[in-house]
Amino acid sequence: MKQTPTDFRAMKGVEPITMLTAYTCPVARGIEQAGVPVILVGDTVGMVEMGFDSTRDVTIEHMEYHIGAVRRGAKDTHIIGDLPYLTDKDPATALIHARRLIAAGADSIKLEGPKLDVIAHLVAHDIAVVGHTGLTPQTATSFKKVGSTSEDAQRIAEEARDIQDAGAFMVVIEHVPYDLSTRITAELRIPTIGIGAGPDCDGQVLVINDALGLGDYWPPFSKQYAHVSDTILQVAKDFRGEVASREFPNNIIRFTGTGNR
Ligand code: KIV
């Protein structure tokens, strides 16, 4: 059954929240079958799937396309859609774009930084909002950890509280010192979801490509549960070899299952 913002708020302090990103239908299907309650269609899609150097190259049309694909694969899972760079530059612009992501299949939207007037405006128009503080890639000049000085830590803690008070039902905290996310998690009423933010957050999110080992760079705080890039290389080599030797298609063992192709 699809979880709602109220369900996620009720999980705070009771049950850790698992979140994975997804960008495609079959991956979303697997995540739903595994019982993960929330999928983030993040603008990381630009970097991990589309080959851009920055999430700033992602457009609202890209997000609509990927949210649609993920929704077709995960009909019963809460989907968060990321508002791309500048599509949330003011409250009215953000509402137009948030409605497009909801129409594409998202249940809620996520936006980066303390855009408190934008969050309040979306919530006032019945759009459920997830905040994002700490490292915010759309405006960051590097991907290094943030919040290591006491001034920066204080700024991020205040941002998280302001995001909550503006009406967000959940907040992602990215790449900050563990003691800072512990403090924020204790201070907020809404769940915190950490990425590179230590074990004390109310939940954890991983970029699915990092978890799959699909790509060529893994952030140090991520974990590779598989090595799919190695599998792709091996499959392509095997296929190439078998076509060259004419082994394929002569060696096919016919699949007689329920496939539809
Ligand atoms: O865009 C994204 O995938 C994200 C995660 C890194 C939290 O914001």
Q: What does the pLDDT look like over 156-170, one tens digit per residue?
A: 999 999 999 999 999
Q: What is the pLDDT of residue 254?
A: 65
**Do residues 125 and 95 lie in contact, with contact meaning Cβ atoms separated by under 8 Å?**
yes
Atom from ligand 1 closest to the CA of residue 19: 7
Atom from ligand 1 closest to the CA of residue 112: 8
Q: What is the pLDDT of residue 251?
A: 83
Percent of the residues in the chain that have a pLDDT greater than 70, as a whole number: 97
pLDDT in tens, 93-131: 999 999 999 999 999 999 999 999 999 999 999 999 999
Helices (H), 57-108: 60-73, 91-104
C-alpha 131/C-alpha 162 separation (Å) is 10
Q: Domain for residue 238, yes or no?
A: no
Q: Domain for residue 178, yes or no?
A: yes
Q: Domain for residue 104, yes or no?
A: yes
Residues with CB under 6 A from ligand 1: 21, 40, 42-44, 82, 132, 172, 174, 195, 205, 207
**Do residues 185 and 201 lie in contact, with contact meaning Cβ atoms separated by under 8 Å?**
yes
For every residue of 6-32, DSSP letters joined together read HHHHHHTTTSPEEEEE--SHHHHHHHH
Predicted confidence (pLDDT) at residue 87 exceeds the cutoff of 90:
yes
Q: Which domain holds residue 30?
A: 5-227
Per-residue pLDDT averaged across 13-37, rounded?
98
Catalytic residue among 15, 174, 187, 242: 174
Among the listed residues 17, 10, 15, the one whose alpha carbon sits nearest the alpha carbon of residue 36: 17
CA distances from 161 to 35, 134, 258 (A): 30, 12, 51
**Do residues 240 and 55 lie in contact, with contact meaning Cβ atoms separated by under 8 Å?**
no
Annotated active-site residue 158? The verdict is no
Question: How many CA atoms lie less than 13 Å away from 38 in the CB half-sphere?
Answer: 28
Q: Domain for residue 252, yes or no?
A: no
Q: Domain for residue 189, yes or no?
A: yes
Per-residue pLDDT averaged across 50-65, rounded?
98
Q: Domain for residue 119, yes or no?
A: yes
Per-residue pLDDT averaged across 36-42, rounded?
99
Here the tokens at position 18 are: 């698992």
Q: Domain for residue 209, yes or no?
A: yes
pLDDT band with cut points at 50, 70 and 90 for residue 252 = confident
Number of domains comprising the chain: 1
How many angstroms separate the alpha carbon of residue 172 from the centre of ligand 1? Answer: 8
CA distances from 50 to 19, 116, 226, 236 (A): 21, 30, 21, 20
The residue among 216 and 65 whose pLDDT is bigger is 65
Q: What is the pLDDT of residue 257?
A: 60
Mutate to test the pocket of ligand 1, among 82, 101, 108, 133 (most ligand atoms within 8 A of CB): 82
How many angstroms separate the alpha carbon of residue 233 from the centre of ligand 1? Answer: 27
Predicted confidence (pLDDT) at residue 255 exceeds the cutoff of 90:
no
pLDDT in tens, 182-214: 999 999 999 999 999 999 999 999 999 999 999
Say which CATH number the domain at 80 has. 3.20.20.60
Atom from ligand 1 closest to the CA of residue 110: 8
Q: What is the pLDDT of residue 15?
A: 97
Q: What is the pLDDT of residue 211?
A: 98
Q: Domain for residue 220, yes or no?
A: yes
